[in-house]
A and B are shown apart, each in its own frame.
Chain A
């Protein structure tokens, strides 16, 4: 089941008991953010939240925590809501193999219903903006899909980028914008600014649930997020042409904001409570002038709370961070079994792999750090054997405790690149990186006494399935 817009997904969540409507009047601050913060603290299966009675607003509609549990993530991919995480990642990876699926262009985008342009643009009149964390510099758009094109290849569909970046609202028609240098939009901006030109952008809010997943996914520069959305949905992604920039934007968006990043200009932005669980900023960031707003009648404003993990963003980018690393590692090392890159955007990654020869696991760990995503994020890698499930943390801790000789198996490489946001980096953007080789040494690496491991009994797998069935039957009674 592929959802073409946010509204149809919210309806599906509602039908599955995964949408909580809060009808009592709430304050925009601190209630909205605190409720979404709390959703991440109430245990498994947290619902999406929907608010439509917010003090001072007449017709605000706010959706939060839409992807904020494994239950909702499964439903976003059209899977049964109790699909285990490891299986969600495996299905994600197998659908990836269908890439590319060409999008389907439609002309009747519902966001064509209403328009503001030029001097009439007023973001506050359309969006019920609000603050997330105490120390944030202001109100943010933090779940948007930002579309930009390579100024040197404006007609190249693959090089058109769709990405999620943090955006502070600094005026009725002005935004501050954070393009992290490793991200595609920063490459586009660099090319435009070298020529002294503004960079046009289209910012789409309230997108279908798979669009939100692909726009936060680390993909190759010339791969199209829309073609990946098609693969993950199992159906072509519906797109439409935005009226001012002519860019390709999601057909089902609630709001489309168009304008330009003003060339060679920087202005104070932030701080902002980030996915790292720390604030970052204030820094001098690029600025966007908004020239046109298009929006559905009664738009739903979708936002996400982020701060000390786990929050919605961790579910949103968890599997989509694992899968590219899994694919890129397997391309050169087919021995790699599974990759868990779900801790703080893959700053820590756990990889299970078979070993070709002694020292192999450390090579796999080094490769993870030199992938496209690894350059900016991966600073700690734990490598475990092929029979250890990297999503099962007790198994990982067992491997660390039993297999690691710290002097031989912990490798630290100084002064490598990382995103500026990494709190432990010093200076910002530079960090040391560590590999912990928690695999069993194989020849010619002959260290340790690992000759007689205990293994699960041959009948265990069958019994696990039997126990699951008994439990399901019991809970259905």
Chain B
């Protein structure tokens, strides 16, 4: 089975396995530990490899850090 060294979306190299196919050895579900992008190893290469991953969906550490909060966390109310 192909192994994926880096996240297709943000190129981070810490990737974990969330699930394996009930039929052994068919696919794994992988997840980037930084941007949480999740993919199955049998998906088309445009979703599973950094090289083919579309420019418009790529994410940088700054994109993650600066993403707006929805909804915003309210101030703590004094009891």
Contact = CB atoms under 8 A, between A and B. Distances in A.
Interface in B62-78: 63-64, 67-71, 73-77
Interface of B: 9, 18-19, 21-23, 26-27, 29, 31, 35-40, 42-44, 46-47, 54, 56-57, 59, 63-64, 67-71, 73-77, 79
B17 to A, nearest CB: 10
A158 interface: no
B19 A124 contact: yes
A30 B18 CA distance: 19
Interface in A126-142: 129-131, 134-135, 137-139
A281 B70 CA distance: 10
B70 A172 contact: no
A116 B29 CA distance: 21
A169 B38 contact: yes
Interface of A: 27-30, 55-59, 122, 124-125, 129-131, 134-135, 137-139, 168-172, 176, 178-181, 186, 189-190, 193-196, 264, 266-269, 271, 279, 281-286, 420, 428
B16 to A, nearest CB: 9
A285 B64 CA distance: 11
Contact of A124 (B29, B47, B64, B70): B29
A158 to B, nearest CB: 23
A282 B77 contact: no
A3 to B, nearest CB: 30
Given A58-B23, A186-B71, A29 B36 contact: no
Nearest to B22: A58
Nearest to B46: A134
Residue among B21, B73, B75 with the highest chain A CB neighbour number at 10 A: B73
Contact of A282 (B39, B46, B64, B71): B64
B42 A28 contact: yes
Contacts of B9: 137
Nearest to A187: B71
A134 B47 CA distance: 7
B57 A135 contact: yes
B57 A134 contact: yes
A30 B43 contact: yes
11 contacts: A28-B40, A29-B47, A131-B43, A137-B9, A138-B36, A170-B36, A170-B38, A181-B71, A194-B77, A266-B69, A285-B70
| Interface residues of A, dominant DSSP | loop
Nearest to A171: B18
Contacts of B56: 135
Contacts of A180: 70-71
Contacts of A138: 31, 36-39
Contact of B23 (A57, A264, A279): A57
Nearest to B77: A194
Nearest to A192: B74
A208 B42 CA distance: 32
Contacts of B64: 268, 282
A194 B74 contact: yes
Given A56-B27, A194-B77, A284 B69 contact: yes
Contact of B47 (A131, A186, A190): A131
A209 B7 CA distance: 38
Nearest to A183: B71
A57 B40 contact: no
B18 A137 contact: no
A59 B23 CA distance: 10
A190 B63 contact: no
Contacts of B54: 134-135
A271 B56 CA distance: 11
Nearest to A138: B38
Contact of A420 (B26, B47, B70): B70
Residue among A28, A130, A286, A420 with the highest chain B CB neighbour number at 10 A: A28
A422 B23 CA distance: 41
Contacts of B77: 194-195
A274 to B, nearest CB: 13
B38 A190 contact: no
A55 B69 CA distance: 37
B18 A172 contact: yes
B74 A193 contact: yes
Contacts of A285: 69-70
Contacts of B43: 29-30, 131
A137 B26 contact: no
Contacts of A135: 54, 56-57
A128 to B, nearest CB: 9
A387 B16 CA distance: 61
Nearest to B19: A124
A45 B64 CA distance: 42
Nearest to A266: B69
A193 B73 contact: yes
A283 B29 contact: no
A312 to B, nearest CB: 22
Given A134-B54, A283-B68, A194 B36 contact: no
A194 B75 CA distance: 6
